[in-house]
Every structure is written in C-alpha cells, then in structure tokens.
Amino acid sequence: EPEVTQTPSHQVTQMGQEVILRCVPISNHLYFYWYRQILGQKVEFLVSFYNNEISEKSEIFDDQFSVERPDGSNFTLKIRSTKLEDSAMYFCASSRQSNQPQHFGDGTRLSIL
C-alpha cells in the first residue's frame, strides 16, 4: 500500500540553526500538509499546499517557516532560526482531493538544543 515517507526520522539541531524536513507524499495525491505535535499535546495544523502554492496556513506558520515542492516528488518544510519551542514531532500528510482522508507519514522528531 502506498505511504507517505518522511526523512529524517530524528533531527537534532542547535538553536538558531536552519532545518529542512523532507516528505515524499503518495504519488497520486494532490494536496500536501504539515502538522506538528508537541510532546503530550494535540496534533496542530501548520500549512496546506496545492498546485505549487500554499492553500491555507495556521497562526503557527509564521515567517520562520516555509514550504517548497522542489521537484515532482519531494515536499519540504524549512524552519529558519530554530527555537527551543520548535521541538516537536512534525508530520507530513497527503490526500488525493480536498476533504478526502489525509494519510500521515511516520513523522520527524525535531529536537532543538
């Protein structure tokens, strides 16, 4: 069964550094999403992406964050100048159409030191 793949599984970064999280969505899916989950808290929406542009973003997704689809398969989340509070699990998800079920990758655990 097709799945969303994310790399790396764990990223440790010094505060203030830039980090790029990578995702390969399911191949015939058109909508891509990033979520984060701080330890012990609920899953929070960051951004959705369709047709090579951002469709919607939450209040969390400020100027520190950016997304890109650099080629036909990858979907990336860049966090500039990381802060301690950016430590979380980051999940990529994709769906075939809007309002269709979103399928999640295994996540990247981001630890900011």
Give me the residues that bind another protein (CB under 8 A), please.
31, 33, 35, 41-50, 55-56, 58, 89, 91, 98-107
Q: Which one, 81 or 100, has the nearer CB to another protein?
A: 100
CA distance 44 to 58: 9
Name beta bridge partners: 10: 109
User: What's the closest the beta carbon of residue 100 comes to another protein, in angstroms?
Assistant: 8
Q: Which one, 81 or 98, has the nearer CB to another protein?
A: 98
φ/ψ of residue 6, rounded to 5: -130, 140
CA distance 59 to 97: 24
User: What's the closest the beta carbon of residue 16 comes to another protein, in angstroms?
Assistant: 27
Q: Which one, 79 or 92, has the nearer CB to another protein?
A: 92
Q: Which one, 24 or 44, has the nearer CB to another protein?
A: 44
Q: What number of other Cβ atoms are within 10 A of residue 28's Cβ?
A: 8
User: What's the closest the beta carbon of residue 36 comes to another protein, in angstroms?
Assistant: 11
User: What's the closest the beta carbon of residue 18 comes to another protein, in angstroms?
Assistant: 24
